[in-house]
Amino acid sequence: MTLDPGVRARVVAVGVDAGVVVKPPTPTPAALILLYDGDVVGVSEWTIDSGLFSDSGIENPIAGDNRVAPYTNSLYLFGDTSVSAVMHRDIEIPFDNVPFRLSGWLGGFGNQDDNSEIEIEWRDVGDNRLGEERLKPVLADERGDVTNFLLRESFGIIPVGTVSARVTITMTRFVAGNNDGYVDGLVLEIDAGANVTQTLIYDGDVITVADGWTVITGSMVDDDLRAVPNDRPPPYGDSNYSYGGNNIVSEMQKDFAVPGEMVVCCLSAWLGGFDDGNDKPAVIVDWRDIGDISLGTFQIGPLTVQDRDFTTKFLLRQFTDQIPVGAVVARVTIESRRFTGSSNDGWADAVELRYRDGSI
């Protein structure tokens, strides 16, 4: 893998968080790495794997453009007429085991569902995958069926041993003509002083059904029932995961205290299924106040057989948003719904609750 030799020159904001000691054992600066900006860091700094891309302002000016300065009505990524277009960029990661935030403005045209998905894959010195993050595509209904952008983000802790990352943009066209899955202002922030927590709440080998989860419907089992490709990152590859036994519906639930100083949550999980069966897993967080009243929900899934391309696999799913004011409990439900066959193959693994305050 060839790393972008100019990435250090494009660290555009640097500071020092005194007293924070990480590897290497010196005060660790914060870094803001601009990954894509149609006016500054464009397509020419990426490797195109398939299709066509260009830095365009084809729909500018956009009425009520949601992007904040300096991106408002600036150039953005456009997929020409490609049905599918993919490009990637390899970057150095200067620090590991510290908080990060990946964010970007994702958008589209009118009532069309052309969209882009962003993935970042953390890698060690041997170019082995240590983990990954994902920005969920923005579809037309979220944009109110008008041409615009929405801000997407994911955050957490960079895995120990990370020295590089591969960032991939996949733009998909659903309506004939232009591929309008727009991207702009894609940024990776690294900050050792940020207040971020990352808590594993379910893992089929370590934090299992027996560890405080209440089965409320059917049955939930920790197992490696099927031969699954090693598509989950370490330590989850080839490990146990949850599935719903032989029940049509299986659900388990557990309450977790919400840290009082946190304002944003990222719900993250690896969801999967078997072959061409359409059994569907999902994870739901119900935010509850001190009187046990629901204040709103987050959800990832259900993962469908179409999402999996009709093959046996796991996929990372994440959702990030503001925590409702007054929430003191996150009531998490992991569910599996059977639609085909005798085994309920809606799988879940590596379920995490991540929190951050406003420091990053």
Note the residue count of the chain. Answer: 360
- Contact yes or no for 106/19 (Cβ under 8 A): no
Output the pLDDT for position 228. 82
Residue 19 pLDDT more than 50? no
pLDDT computed for residue 29 by the predictor: 52
Same domain, 160 and 178: yes
Per-residue pLDDT band at 16 (split at 50, 70, 90): very low
In whole angstroms, give the CA distance from residue 246 to residue 244. Answer: 6
Residue 1 lies in a domain: no
What is the mean predicted confidence (pLDDT) over 222-242?
A: 85
User: How many whole angstroms separate alpha carbon 55 and alpha carbon 183?
Assistant: 10
Asked whether residue 160 carries a pLDDT value surpassing 90, the answer given is yes
Residues 221, 132 share a domain? no
> Looking at residues 327-352, what average pLDDT do you find?
96
2 is a domain residue: no
**Does residue 181 sit in the same domain as residue 201?**
no
Domain extent for 224: 196-356
Q: What is the CATH number of the domain that holds 273?
A: 2.60.120.200
For the question of whether the overall pTM of this predicted structure is more than 0.75, the answer is yes
Mean pLDDT across the chain, nearest whole number?
89
Per-residue pLDDT for 339 more than 90? Answer: yes
Q: Rounded mean pLDDT of 193-217?
A: 93
Phi and psi, residue 13, nearest 5°: -145, 125
Co-location of 244 and 120 in the same domain? no
Number of domains, the chain: 2
Per-residue pLDDT reduced to its tens digit, 281-317: 999 999 999 999 999 999 999 999 999 999 999 999 9
Domain identity same for 120 and 223: no
Q: Which of 291, 273, 290, 293 is nearest to 281 (CA)?
A: 273
Could you tell me what percent of the chain has a pLDDT over 70? 91
Residues 186 and 224 in one domain: no
Q: Which of 142, 165, 190 is the last residue of a domain?
A: 190
Evaluate whether residue 319 is within a structural domain. yes
pLDDT given at position 260? 86
The answer on pLDDT for 259 being more than 60 is yes
Q: If pLDDT is split at 50, 70 and 90, which confidence band does 170 have?
A: very high
CATH number of the domain at 175, please.
2.60.120.260
315 lies in the same domain as 252: yes
pLDDT given for residue 7 in this prediction: 30
11 pLDDT above the threshold of 60: no
Domain match, 185 and 217 both: no
Over residues 77-96, mean pLDDT? 95
Residues 300, 282 contacting (CB under 8 angstroms) = yes
**222 pLDDT band (50/70/90 cuts)?**
very high
Mean pLDDT of 4-11: 29
Q: Would residue 69 count as lying in a domain?
A: yes
User: Are 225 and 141 found together in one domain?
Assistant: no
Residue 27 has pLDDT above 70, yes or no: no
Q: Based on the domain organization, do 70 and 17 belong to the same domain?
A: yes
Q: Which of 190, 221, 253 is the last residue of a domain?
A: 190
Q: What confidence tier does 231 reach under pLDDT thresholds 50, 70, 90?
A: confident
pLDDT at residue 360 is higher than 50: yes
Please give the pLDDT value at position 90: 97
Cα–chain-centroid distance for residue 221? 26
